[in-house]
Structure 1
Amino acid sequence: MSKTTLFQHVVTPEEDGELLETVLRKQFRFSRRMMRVLKHEKRVWVNGEWIFFRSRVKEMDLIRIELNIAEDVEYISPEEVPFTVVDEDEDLIVVNKPPNTVVHPTGSHQHGTLANGLIYYWQQRGENHKIRPVTRLDKDTSGLMVLAKHAYGHAFLADQMAKKRYERSYFAIVHGNLIHDRGTIDLPIGKVPDVPLLRFIDFSEEGSRAITHYEVVERFSHASVLRLWLETGRTHQIRVHLSSIGHPIIGDELYGNGEEEKHLIGRQALHAKSLKLYHLRKRDWVAWEAPIPEDMKQLLHILRRDS
Structure 2
Amino acid sequence: MLSFVARCCLSAACLLPLSNAHAQWATINWTIAETLLAIDAPLSGTAQKNGYHEWVGEPRIPDGVVDLGLRSQPNLELMAQSPPTQTFISPMFAGLTERLERIAPVTSFSPYSPGTNTWQEIQTLTRQLGELTGHRLQAAQLISETHTLMNTLRQQHPDAPPLLMVQFMDARHVRVFGDNSLYNAVLEQINLTNAWDRPTNAWGFSLSAIEALYDYPEATLVIVDPVPTGVEDALAKSGLWQHLPSVKNANLLRLPPAWSFGALPSGQRFARELVAALASQPRR
TM-score by shorter chain over 0.5: no
> TM (normalized to structure 1)?
0.28
Structure in which a larger fraction of residues adopt strand: 1
Structure in which a larger fraction of residues adopt helix: 2
Higher RCO (C-alpha 8 Å, min separation 6): 2
> TM (normalized to structure 2)?
0.29
